[in-house]
Amino acid sequence: MSEALQSRLGEAGISCRVEQRDRLAIVISEAPISRDDRLLMIQMARGEGFTHVAIELDPDGAPLPGD
C-alpha cells in the first residue's frame, strides 16, 4: 500500500517517502507541503485503503522523549 501511495504522490509532484503502520500512512516530505497538497495526500491515502495520515514536518524525524 505505501509504495503505491508514494508513487501516486510522486506523480502528482509531491516528493516524499511513505511509511506504513497498519492503516496509518506516515508521509515524510522533502519540502514544505501546501494546504492543497495536504488535502490531496488525504484523498490519495483514502484511495489506497489508509484510514489515517500523519505528515512528518521534520524530515530528520521527531525527537523521542528523553532524547
Domain boundaries in the chain?
2-56
What sign does the dihedral 21-19-55-34 (CA atoms) show? negative
Per-residue model confidence as pLDDT tens digits over 13-52: 999 999 999 999 999 988 888 999 999 999 999 999 999 9
The CATH class given to the 2-56 domain equals alpha beta
> What is the pLDDT at residue 32?
86
Indicate the pLDDT class of residue 1, thresholds 50, 70 and 90. Answer: confident
pLDDT exceeds cutoff 80 at 62: no
